[in-house]
A and B are shown apart, each in its own frame.
Chain A
């Protein structure tokens, strides 16, 4: 199996990176923002020219401190009345900023056309391992400076879409509050669009049973296009937590840095 060279992305990689990643948004760059954000690329061994990028991953420290980030927390409400023989348990959605301050692994992607399945798996696994190593490295630095730092790491994946790219979850919920095209907004504003659209979404708890059946079953399910990422995150010790993304109810994998990566780093 090929070992890839993992290195920081360089401006010369941008053309190829743009084919792997969603648009960064108006006036934004794919290149990392701030001192501590990292964009790592997997380069073919020996190659240093453009055309040799097989995948990428991004690490963001202490997210949500400059621009608020939003998720739906999937909770539970029970309506019980023993006298009536009533015991009704159902899921709730509450908009919040729960993961603010955590580490984020984002943009975990690879070349899906040029690589076979085994190679895709290998490059993604290696990128994930490198991302976790980068987080550990930064944490060690922080510890040296006496900063406690958070131990939570999470990674969002896209939720279920149909062949036309439409999300049943968005169709059942989001579109009632923002009547624009979410894909256009995402292309225009980049990841920030979720912060912008959150301002339009319900602030009060919602009962999941008010959503369509398709939306309910999409809750926390990854799109088929990222099945491999979901599998590798699970292997690395991440688990789907109690949060979903606000646009398409994609899963948010969460883990504790000290418990992550044992299997992913095994040979």
Chain B
């Protein structure tokens, strides 16, 4: 069992979940309540990673992060080194890849909050931020947990994007899924099985948590395999 790879995967998944929460909540709020007529275009962009092969996303991310790509050049100017094949590059690519898994459950749960409660909050003197903090957020807890857990689990299990953008550097970009692939390539089936089985158990536990929470919340949440 390659603990280095497992720890790296968990570190990556935690970073990505945290970033997705910070970026996803305001974006989901805007997507849930805005009446902008071109909103659907942004919704489509957010959902893109659901349908694109990870290699397509990874390929364009690699181009963008390369020494001549816009992101790569920006990064180089700021930090003095490239972005491709680094942990930071992996985080950026993974955030994009897991975007719909965080944003869509958030939108779904914001949208199920009764609009009359928002009206009630407004006539009681609360502005948007206070309404969001005191009413929308607490009533969206199941959706927020779903979003966090799905971002975490989806990042933990990603393969194609990591391979394209991160390569296979031990301790930097070699995540569990890459490690399993490596072992199979070198016919170490026993080692592959140990890691694969652990990933299977983790995924099952995570999904059980999501379903359990949704069941307690007593309503349907957005889940990617239900939306597809």
Do A and B belong to a common assembly?
Answer: no
Query: Which residues of chain A have a CB within 8 Å of any CB of chain B?
Result: none
